[in-house]
Amino acid sequence: MTHKKFKLGLIPRIVLGIIIGIILGSFAPVWLNKIFVTFTSIFGKFLNFVIPLLIIAFVTAGIAELGSGAGKLLGITLGLAYIFTLISGLSAYFVGINFLPAIIAQENASIVTDAAKEIEPFFIIEMPAIMDVMSALLISFILGLGISITKSASLRKAAEDFQAIISMLIERIIIPLLPVYIIGIFINMTHAGQVATVFSVFWKVFLIVIIMHILIIIFQFSIGCAINKKNVLKCLKIQTTAYMTALGTQSSAATIPVNVSCSEKMGISKGIREFVIPLCATVHLSGSTITLTTCAMAVMMLNGITIDFSIFVGFIAMLGITMVAAPGVPGGAVMAALGVLESVLGFTEPMLALMIALYIAQDSFGTACNVSGDQAIGMIVDTIQSKK
């Protein structure tokens, strides 16, 4: 008799990492904590090195692949996905600017900024990135568009192979080691006396994020159903199957078959649902954008950093583009967003680490919101196509 191998999911491992980090930070000797902090330092430097490679791998292959798609229909779908992502990000900004200051009082920010000295690693290994984030994005656009225009089979194959290498790196090294990385982060946060403040703030932030997810789904379905002349409540009821699947799998890609089946029940035509739903699983991430924008604002407020609207508009616009590059693995969206958080908002390594922990803790809800919004795009594209 064969026993099925038990495998702990990423969220439980992240939660376990946080708990272990708090326990070690409270009770373990400094030398033991220094080992974890040293690993976290090395891993953080490696992560910074990988970010430009990740952008080149995913954006280049993504644009090259999209370029050979269904012409105008592709353009319309991408345009709608980007507009919905921008609306989601801007909504999150305005909700955040009005509600977060009440949650993150000035004394919370001062606890984090005036914290005790952190534990230093035994040694530091510098790993300078081969280029900055903006250079990586520009190279990706030039290569991706070039491959799609010239239809170069060899360059496209090279781009896809490079993407496969970076995907393997994320799935087999970065994601499995994230819980250990987070142990080091929370050891330092506990040692510096910040952890209680962070937890007291972020359960309220998550509540706001999940409410915004539900509201944006209702908003997107209202638009889609109005244009496609469908019953909103009936369509939302059908969508609950795909929503619950995404909640369980934490993966837009794994939810595609269920989402296509929901599209069929909603009456979206076969050609459109089979084109739009798989494409939007990659390019439309409204839920992830809401989470990243809200958590980024909360982390900045906790660190006493002033939030500037013009900078955040640029951040959301860049985030919409970068989300196309997000690998379809749990936590993939935050990995793709690290470069934008660093280059546009000036996030430091501890701030990026906190963003990873916070994002992955609610990744299921973000994914469920992403896949639900795909249906609204499908409805609109279906209407445009039927009128043609």
Q: What is the pLDDT of residues 47-103, one digit of tens each?
A: 878 878 877 887 787 777 665 554 577 788 888 999 999 999 999 999 999 998 888
Residue range 10-387 forms a domain whose CATH class is mainly alpha
pLDDT tens digit sequence for 233-269? 999 999 988 898 887 666 676 688 888 889 989 998 8
In Å, what is the CA distance from 245 to each residue of 211, 248, 286, 369?
19, 5, 17, 11
Tokens of 190: 């506990």
Does the predicted TM-score (pTM) go above 0.85? no
Task: Average the pLDDT over 287-304 and give the result.
Answer: 90
Domain ranges across the chain: 10-387
Task: Average the pLDDT over 144-164 and give the result.
Answer: 88
pLDDT higher than 60, residue 113:
no
For residue 374, name the pLDDT band (cuts at 50, 70, 90). very high
In Å, what is the CA distance from 222 to each residue of 25, 102, 215, 276, 377?
48, 31, 10, 18, 11
Quote the pLDDT of residue 110.
57
Quote the pLDDT of residue 325.
61
Asked if 344 contacts 315 with a C-beta cutoff of 8 angstroms, the reply is yes
Most distant CA atoms of the chain, gap in Å = 70
Quote the pLDDT of residue 108.
58
DSSP 122: S
